[in-house]
């Protein structure tokens, strides 16, 4: 029988944070995720590592947490964070009174907000609107949600922390008011089985209401959908926020070679609803072009959406509801060994994990202190290995691969490249992903679909949105022996193309339209992806 | 500058065919190209009609055409035009010693790089996939380091599309090309065009392939529009030899392009490459000249007639900078999408429906002259051909090169 001391439900930032913290304190912990890691909220947001300035007026406690965690994540997750800094700009339509309150709030929360003149702002960011009235520099940064989560998992693994993906919890099993385990179902084989444990931590984000309901408990988490747009360029070097009461479409975050504009806020019934409509995109663009007047000249890559878990004890909704986090010990509801952690935001995931881990450890009488704020998530890639890699990677590919793979995996990939020239093929030209990297990721046995590989390597996320690498990656995945639960290759390809299409459809104009015609030419006309036979 | 009878704008299949038909009719033709259209994408297959209405494949291309709605480009022209265009194309290929097979009364099935079978109409001899139905032994050939071709995927899906009763084997050929660069099918095709390359390949195949099999390769049997390598391999292996479709760049697409350019040269068509047409001079519904932008200066070209073959959103003939305004870039011919934003595209990329955005384009009269919103002729001596036409979905219907061929033929016959 499988067992663990603690089962954590949910493969997002909060879940992996708890996994790592418990593992580092020597607790036997297993994380269960019903699909692939980081497929929900933690990868479906703007990727902003908040300085806290956004919350400086409404919620100074949240603001303080942000600035403290911001400093910690820069330190422990160097390769996940791009220290861009951020600007807050006020435009004529933004309330002047708010500015004073905001400056005061930043001061009180310990967030550095340095005033600069509009002229200085334009020197820093020439594309900014020429209507700016005032501007401030704050220590915002960009953070990669996929990478951060993966590095937590890798770090936890070094301490014995385990993960099972595509494993859905379907029942929470208790005896005499105490947790004894969970029933789970495998996504691919549909097989169900029992995992014994003493504690269950519900860290399922917007799904945590559904998980609590499995134990017959009521946790009021309202999924709140946010839609975002990815542009194919960096529009600015810094994060740009509007200096007003936080609202839709007022944040731009540059990441690598793209920029993300977000977000909207809309209550939805089902956290699985990650659709975005033409109208949502249009309204984002209308707000966004106040910040960057030429916004519509930039190519839109795709749209995407995710659900925030907004918790309310009393039923507050949307931006009115708290962005702070809560920990619910369901012992108070008569079920010992079951806790829910919800609300919060990506920036404070580590702190949230620390708080709940403290409580669990106290119950387990584990006294080892939390060290997640001191120990880096991964070892830095050495210059020596990078030098070796330079021989095989395209010019800027080395840095990209080193940061996304981490020291150990990167070294293994470089070794493959060295030994096996075949594997130097660039499978995804847009994101510089080699065959060696894809083979290495497949070998780990945690990727079952092309989208799983995409999340780990960035393959298919670039300019052509998978026009060329879709067939290649399906071919590579389906010839691999490392994966038992393989899906039919044609179905894999159809699913992957459809997943890419979902984000392109609401932005179908300009070059996205052009690329789509090409995708249809290749996969529809040339390869008859719908299938067919003469009989 | 000497005035032409007709200027054809566009170097894709529609443009080259319009120039060929016009030249054959004795017109003085100037062809302006900027790129090569979708030749590298579409394997040089002439799809005519497979799915006129829904996902059901029609019995024959000609029956499919009959089932189409009135606004379809095929329905704008007289019924015999489709047939005449097909005949013209086949005779042209025959003349260039690269004959195509097929007719309007039967689908030809080709093997795709996915291992699905694709219905089309006119195909080169190297792609007659029906041969697979007649043989038991199917051999799938891949090449080491060719990242665009996966025999394992083809085998898995051919078992669905052709049935499990056949014997499938896969062979990987090592081309031993050592220049550190990723290989494309074109590299292999160049290698196979050398005696040494061909010998190396055939040696590896001989030991793995039984006589009387069907051997399926990616498009690597040379870049020239002849069947020399194909015929030699057929003889050496005593097998049927097939090429599948594949990821771009497509060798057979380039063969067809070279064939057509050759034909145009022979028929004294003036060809100007890298000529981006940026504007036109139109008075009283008559175009007198168009302007191109080359490296440094603008040039003006005059003619009695103009054939617009600039493609759609992919080719650049139509542009949509922001939804919903669509621009035809040279003559500013009106193009409109009538629906709401949410109706612009289907929820699924590939489904049982035509894509609304794919059917958007220029409306024309029976002679292929563009119409304005009120249904009046917009410019009397401009003819529109290929993907910038409205009323069809090249991908869903599997009709792209067919519409290009028929509209090009009709336009050239209307001069």
Residues of B in contact with A530 (CB under 8 A): 55, 116, 350
User: Which residues 457-486 in chain A show a CB within 8 A of chain B?
Assistant: 468, 471-472, 474-476, 478-479
On whether both A456 and A512 belong to a single domain, the answer is yes
- Cis ω for the linkage preceding B380 (within 30 of 0): no
pLDDT at A532: 76
> Within an 8 Å CB–CB cutoff, is residue A394 touching chain B?
no
Q: Let me know if residue A198 belongs to a domain.
A: yes
Where are the extended beta strands (E) located within A287-391?
A: 300-311, 325-329, 338-343
Q: Which two tokens stand for residue B98?
A: 């690269």
Within a domain: A34: yes
Alpha helices in B3-130 (DSSP H): 13-24, 61-66, 73-76, 79-95
CB A346 within 8 A of CB A145: yes
How much is the pLDDT for A178? 97
State pLDDT tens for residues B169-218: 999 999 988 767 789 999 999 999 999 999 999 999 999 999 999 999 99
Stretches in chain A below the pLDDT threshold 70? 314-323, 394-395, 535
Tens-digit pLDDT profile for residues B237-249 = 999 999 999 999 9
Same domain? A21 vs A160: yes
Same-domain pairing of A276 and A156: no
Element (H, E) at B172: strand B167-173
Q: How far is A282 from chain B (nearest CA, A)?
A: 10
What domains appear along chain B, each with residue ranges and CATH number? Answer: 4-100+255-414 (3.50.50.60), 113-244 (3.40.50)
Mean pLDDT, chain B, whole residue set: 95
A291 occurs within a structural domain = yes
A527/B245 Cβ within 8 A: yes
Cβ–Cβ gap B116/A475 under 8 Å? no
Contact status of A75 with chain B (Cβ, < 8 Å)? no
The reported pLDDT for the residue numbered A35 is: 95
Same domain? For A28 and A108 the reply is no
Q: How many domains does chain A have?
A: 3
Pick from B149, B151, B148, B129: which is nearest to B140 by CA? B151
Could you give the C-alpha distances from B16 to A192, B30, B413, in angstroms and in order?
61, 11, 15
Domain final position from A308, A331, A355:
A308
Residue A483 falls inside a structural domain: yes
CB-based contact (8 Å) between A509 and chain B?
A: yes
Residue A209 falls inside a structural domain: yes
- Which residues on chain B are in Cβ contact (under 8 Å) with A516? 349, 357
Q: Which of B36, B130, B181, B313 to mutate to test the interface with A (most CBs of A within 10 A)?
A: B313
Q: Would residue A184 count as lying in a domain? A: yes
For residues A444 and A329, state if they share a domain. Answer: no
**A487 to chain B: closest CA residue:** B156
Domain identity same for A488 and A349: no
Asked if the bond preceding B89 is cis, omega within 30° of 0, the reply is: no
Residues of B within 8 A of A490 (CB-CB) are 114-116, 156-157, 160
In this prediction, residue B308 carries a pLDDT of 98
* Nearest C-alpha in B relative to A501: B349
Question: Chain A within 8 Å of B381 (Cβ-Cβ)?
Answer: no
A445 with A511, same domain: the answer is yes
A202 plus A334 within the same structural domain: yes
**Distance, CA of A155 to CA of A159 (rounded, Å):** 7
Residues 147-206 of B with CB under 8 A from A: 147-150, 152-153, 156-157, 160-162, 180, 182
Q: Is residue A376 part of a domain?
A: no
Residue written as token pair 């939805």: A268
Question: Burial, A358: exposed, middle or buried (Cβ in 10 Å; 0-12, 13-18, 19+)?
Answer: middle
pLDDT value of position B256: 98
Listing DSSP states for A359-387 in one string gives HHHHHHT--PPP-TTTS-SSPPPPHHHHH
Question: B345 in contact with A at a CB cutoff of 8 Å?
Answer: yes
d(CA B229, CA B201): 12
Q: Please check whether residues A243 and A133 belong to one and the same domain.
A: yes
* pLDDT given at position A316: 46
Write down the pLDDT at residue B1: 64
Whether pLDDT at B15 is above 70? yes
Task: Return the ∠ at Cα B178 (arms to B173 and B181), rounded to 5°.
Answer: 100
Nearest CA to A139 out of A238, A46, A206, A205 is that of A238
Candidates A277, A521, A526; nearest CB to B112:
A526
Judged by average pLDDT, the poorest of B7-21, B75-89, B285-299 is B285-299
Residue A532 to residue B161, Cβ atoms within 8 A: yes
Same domain, A132 and A179: no
Nearest CA distance, B359 vs chain A (angstrom): 12
Residues A166 and A215 in one domain: yes
Residue to test with chain A: of B102, B135, B153, most A Cβ within 10 A: B153
Question: What is the distance between the alpha carbons of residues B207 and B203, in angstroms, rounded to a whole number?
Answer: 7
Residues A422, B357: C-beta atoms closer than 8 Å: no
B353 contacts chain A (CB < 8 A):
no
Find the radius of gyration of the CA atoms of chain A. Answer: 23
Residue A446 lies in a domain: yes
A128 lies in the same domain as A203: no
Whole-prediction pTM: 0.94
Q: Which helix (H) or strand (E) holds A434?
A: strand A433-434
Q: Are A143 and A81 in contact (CB under 8 A)?
A: yes
DSSP A45-86: S--EE--SGGGTTT-HHHHHHHHHHHHHHHHHTGGGEE---E
Residue A320: per-residue pLDDT: 46
**A298–B contact, CB cutoff 8 A:** no
Between chains, do A531 and B157 touch, taking CB under 8 Å as contact? yes
Q: Which domain holds residue A282?
A: 82-141+222-308
Q: Which pLDDT score is estimated for B179?
A: 67
Contacts of B47 in chain A (CB under 8 A): 525
Distance from CA of A204 to the nearest CA of B (A): 28
Domain of A247, CATH number, reads 3.30.9.10
């Amino acid at each position: 029988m499988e067992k663990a001391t603690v089962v954590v439900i949910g493969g997002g930032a909060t879940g992996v944070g708890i996994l790592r913290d418990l593992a580092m304190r020597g607790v036997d912990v297993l994380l269960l995720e019903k699909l692939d890691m980081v497929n929900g909220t933690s990868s479906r947001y703007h990727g902003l590592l908040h300085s806290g300035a956004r919350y400086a007026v409404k919620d100074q406690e949240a603001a303080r947490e942000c600035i403290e965690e911001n400093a910690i994540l820069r330190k422990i997750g160097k390769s996940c964070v791009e220290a861009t800094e951020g600007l807050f700009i006020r435009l004529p339509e933004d309330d002047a009174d708010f500015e004073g309150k905001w400056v005061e709030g930043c001061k009180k929360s310990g967030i550095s907000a340095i005033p600069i003149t509009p002229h200085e702002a334009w020197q820093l960011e020439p594309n900014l609107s020429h209507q700016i009235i005032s501007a401030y520099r704050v220590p915002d940064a960009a953070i990669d949600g996929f990478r951060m989560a993966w590095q937590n998992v890798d770090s936890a693994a070094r301490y014995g922390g385990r993960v099972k993906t595509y494993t859905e919890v379907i029942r929470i099993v208790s005896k005499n008011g105490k947790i004894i385990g969970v029933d789970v179902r495998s996504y691919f084989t549909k097989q169900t089985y029992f995992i014994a444990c003493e504690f269950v931590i519900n860290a399922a984000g917007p799904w945590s209401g559904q998980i609590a309901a499995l134990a017959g408990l009521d946790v009021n988490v309202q999924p709140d959908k946010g839609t975002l747009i990815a542009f194919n360029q960096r529009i600015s070097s810094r994060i740009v926020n509007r200096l007003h009461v936080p609202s839709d479409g007022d944040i731009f975050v540059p990441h690598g070679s793209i920029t993300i504009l977000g977000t909207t806020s809309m209550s939805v019934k089902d956290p699985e609803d990650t659709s975005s409509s033409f109208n949502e995109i249009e309204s984002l663009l209308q707000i966004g072009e106040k910040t960057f007047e030429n916004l519509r000249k930039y190519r839109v890559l795709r749209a995407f959406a995710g659900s925030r878990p907004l918790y309310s004890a009393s039923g507050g909704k949307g931006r009115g509801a708290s962005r702070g986090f809560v920990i619910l010990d369901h012992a108070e509801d008569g079920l010992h060994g079951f806790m829910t952690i919800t609300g919060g935001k990506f920036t404070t995931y580590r702190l949230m994990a620390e708080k709940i881990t403290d409580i669990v450890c106290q119950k387990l009488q584990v006294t080892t202190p939390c060290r997640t704020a001191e120990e880096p998530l991964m070892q830095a890639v050495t210059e020596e290995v990078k030098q070796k890699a330079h021989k095989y990677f395209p010019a800027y590919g080395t840095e990209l691969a080193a940061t996304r793979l981490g020291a150990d995996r990167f070294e293994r990939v470089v070794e493959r490249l060295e030994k096996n020239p075949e594997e130097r093929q660039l499978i995804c030209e847009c994101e510089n992903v080699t065959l060696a990297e894809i083979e290495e990721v497949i070998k780990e046995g945690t990727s079952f679909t092309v989208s799983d590989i995409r999340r780990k390597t960035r393959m298919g996320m670039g300019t052509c949105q998978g026009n060329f690498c879709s067939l290649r990656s399906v071919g590579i995945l389906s010839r691999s022996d490392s994966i038992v639960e393989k899906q039919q290759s044609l179905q894999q390809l159809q699913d992957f193309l459809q997943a890419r299409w979902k984000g392109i459809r609401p932005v179908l104009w300009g070059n996205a339209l052009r690329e789509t015609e090409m995708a249809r030419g290749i996969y529809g006309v040339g390869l008859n992806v719908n299938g067919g036979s003469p009989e | 500058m000497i005035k032409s009878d007709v200027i054809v704008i566009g170097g894709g299949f529609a443009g080259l065919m319009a120039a060929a038909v016009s030249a054959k009719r004795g017109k003085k033709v100037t062809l302006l190209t900027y790129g090569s259209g979708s030749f590298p994408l579409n394997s040089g297959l002439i799809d005519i009609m497979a799915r006129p209405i829904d996902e059901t494949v029609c019995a024959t291309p000609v029956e499919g055409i009959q089932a189409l709605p009135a606004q379809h480009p095929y329905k704008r022209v007289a019924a015999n035009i489709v047939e005449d265009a097909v005949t013209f194309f086949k005779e042209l290929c025959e003349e260039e010693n690269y004959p195509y097979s097929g007719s309007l009364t039967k689908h030809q099935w080709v093997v795709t790089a996915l291992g699905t079978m694709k219905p089309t109409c006119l195909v080169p001899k190297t792609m007659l996939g029906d041969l697979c139905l007649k043989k038991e032994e199917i051999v799938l050939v891949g090449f080491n380091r060719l990242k665009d071709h996966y025999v394992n995927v083809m085998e898995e899906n051919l078992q669905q599309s052709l049935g499990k009763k056949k014997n499938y084997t896969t062979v990987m050929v090592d081309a031993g090309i050592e220049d550190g660069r990723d290989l494309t099918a074109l590299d292999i095709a160049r290698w196979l065009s050398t005696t040494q390359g061909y010998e190396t390949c055939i040696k590896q195949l001989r030991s793995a392939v039984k006589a009387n099999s069907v051997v399926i390769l990616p498009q690597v049997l040379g870049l020239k529009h002849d069947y020399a390598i194909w015929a030699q391999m057929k003889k050496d292996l005593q097998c049927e030899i097939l090429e599948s479709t594949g990821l771009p760049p497509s060798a057979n697409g380039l063969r067809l392009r070279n064939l057509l350019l050759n034909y145009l040269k022979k028929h004294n068509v003036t060809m100007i490459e890298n000529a981006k047409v940026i504007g036109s001079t139109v008075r009283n519904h008559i175009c007198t000249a168009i302007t191109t932008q080359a490296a440094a200066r603008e040039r003006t070209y005059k003619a009695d007639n103009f054939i617009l073959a600039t493609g759609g959103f992919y080719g650049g003939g139509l542009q949509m900078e922001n939804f919903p305004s669509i621009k035809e870039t040279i003559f500013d011919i009106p193009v409109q999408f009538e629906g709401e934003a949410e109706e612009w595209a289907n929820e699924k990329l590939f489904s049982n429906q035509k894509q609304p955005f794919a059917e958007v384009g220029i409306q024309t009269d029976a002679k292929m002259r563009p119409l304005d919103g009120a249904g009046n002729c917009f410019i009397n001596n401009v003819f529109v051909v290929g993907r910038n036409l409205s009323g069809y979905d090249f991908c869903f219907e599997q009709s792209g090169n067919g519409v290009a061929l028929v509209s090009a033929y009709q336009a050239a016959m209307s001069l």
